[in-house]
Amino acid sequence: MSSLTPPKASNTLPLLLIIGYVWPEPNSSAAGSRMMQLISSFLARGYRINFASPADFSDHAVDLQALGVDVTAIELNNTSFDEFVAELQPQVVLFDRFMMEEQFAWRVSNNCPQAIRILNMEDLHSLRHARQQAIKAGGNSDDAELNTEMAHRELAAIFRSDLTLVISPFEYQLIHQHYQVPESQLLLLPFMLAEPTQPSSLPFEQRHHFVSIGNFRHAPNWDAVLQLRQLWPAIRRQCGDAELHIYGAYPPKKATQLHNSAIGFHIKGWAQDVTELMSNARVLLAPLRFGAGLKGKLLDAMCHGLPSVTTPIGAEGMTVAADWPGAVRSEDQAFIDEAVRLYQDRQAWQQAVAQIPAHLVPYQRSTLEQALFERIYGIDQDINGHRQQHFIGAMLQHHSLKSTQYMSQWIEAKNKLKSQP
């Protein structure tokens, strides 16, 4: 029997250690929602979970202990983690983003060599960063340079991991075909929605105003707010007294200063109830010029029967055979025209809503969970054989990973010297 097949005795349930980049905040970001989906899935499969993070605690984070999850504060560049993980001896370790893999995977490998190491990407950070740099240089996202230092680091983490969870079909193909990562090390695992998903049925006439949402600390979202400030006057002129309500966690002063009720441009800040605001809005706007992964705001809109106008970057990885439930436009005037059309034309709005169910099919939790745990159990059956298939990962463990280990140990030794009288 696999050591990861949940036994009957609760005190011998398999243990998952999650090393989080931050403490999960599902009301602040799609990444927080994604992490909570993973936690829920592992709990449902009978795992004990310890969530550890070097980040500061947040008042907005989920109370994981109330869910039965143990929490541990850990330190970067400190052998205390070695003692912690050696005593814990988890069967599975999930690294939240490649930075955590860089910091802690070598320590996990040294102390728990048989633990399955899983990388949860969230998105392909190097792709998002490269696209942002291309925009700053005056180009567009298609000009992104894929051969960057960050890409080298991120792909090394992927190659070193036993399994990487890739959220976007576009990024899955990029990682497999362009960067040549074997599919045996990858699993396409988008957002997981509880079933059944029933979009809000509030009709066109009872919905009012435009809405946009996104964590203000996330660079693509802040850039989108600036784009909306430029696009909104033209939309407003054609839509009477329509308003644009912009929500998002951690609004900075530079964002709140954009608030202008005279033109219907409202910076609302934190969203207390996403269901309420999306169920009552008529159109969601997401003029994203760069980014990566899947856009949680667009999936949330679908789940609430809300058509959206976005860009090719926004819709990337989320399109299916059916038409987009709204519109996808890259040019400013076309974006404005579609926003106005959907807001004013009841038939066009209803046609967009009718496309939503087809777009929700890829996110059904039961199917995705089954694929995830089949892969984990399969690796567990012969983890040494699995690793022997992947020469590049073994090579990176032998050489490149040592550089991060030695740097960490150097920082630790330096910190100890500083602390001495």
Q: What angle do CA 282, 285, 289 make, to 5 degrees?
A: 170
Nearest to 18 by CA among 41, 247, 283, 175: 41
Query: In whole angstroms, how far apart are CA 66 and each of 27, 49, 61, 272?
Result: 17, 12, 12, 21
The phi-psi region of residue 174 (left if phi > 0; otherwise alpha if psi is between -120 and 50; otherwise beta) is alpha
Residues forming beta bridges with residue 17, ordered by sequence position: 50, 93
- Residues contacting residue 64 through CB under 8 Å, at least 6 positions apart: 23, 24, 39, 51, 70, 71
Token pair recorded at residue 93: 């370790």
Q: Say what the pLDDT of residue 341 is.
A: 97
- Specify whether the CB–CB gap between 13 and 49 falls below 8 A: no
**Where do we find the tokens 């707010």?**
225
Within this chain, domains 10-194+364-419 and 204-363 share the same CATH topology = yes
CA atoms within 13 A on the CB side of 59: 2
Q: Say what the pLDDT of residue 272 is.
A: 86
Q: Which CATH code of 3.40.50.2000, 3.30.420.10, 3.40.50.920, 3.30.450.20 fits the domain covering 204-363?
A: 3.40.50.2000
Rg (CA), the chain: 23
Q: Any idea which fold 10-194+364-419 has?
A: Rossmann fold (3.40.50)
Q: What is the crossing angle of helices 346-354 and 332-344, to 10°?
A: 100
Q: Say what the pLDDT of residue 397 is.
A: 75
User: Terminal CA-to-CA distance of the chain, rounded, Å?
Assistant: 54
Nearest to 319 by CA among 271, 276, 355: 355
The phi-psi region of residue 263 (left if phi > 0; otherwise alpha if psi is between -120 and 50; otherwise beta) is alpha
pLDDT by residue for the chain (421 residues), tens only, comes to 234 443 333 456 899 999 999 999 988 888 999 999 999 999 999 999 999 999 999 888 999 999 999 999 999 999 999 999 999 999 999 999 999 999 999 999 999 999 999 999 999 999 999 999 999 999 888 888 999 999 999 999 999 999 999 999 999 999 999 999 999 999 999 999 986 556 667 899 999 999 999 999 999 999 999 999 999 999 999 998 999 999 999 999 999 999 999 999 999 999 988 989 999 999 999 999 999 999 999 999 999 999 999 999 999 999 887 799 999 999 999 999 999 999 999 999 999 999 999 999 999 999 999 999 999 999 999 999 999 998 888 888 765 556 666 677 777 777 877 776 6
Q: What angle do CA 309, 310, 315 make, to 5 degrees?
A: 125
- Residues contacting residue 280 through CB under 8 Å, at least 6 positions apart: 202, 206, 207, 208
User: d(Cα 291, Cα 298) in Å, to the nearest integer?
Assistant: 13
DSSP 137: T
Give residue limits of the domains in the chain.
10-194+364-419, 204-363
The pairs formed by 82-86 with CB atoms below 8 angstroms and a separation of 24 or more are: 82/107, 82/110, 82/111, 84/52, 85/17, 85/111, 85/112, 86/111, 86/112
Token pair recorded at residue 244: 């644009």
Q: Say what the pLDDT of residue 2 is.
A: 36
Token pair recorded at residue 17: 């250690």
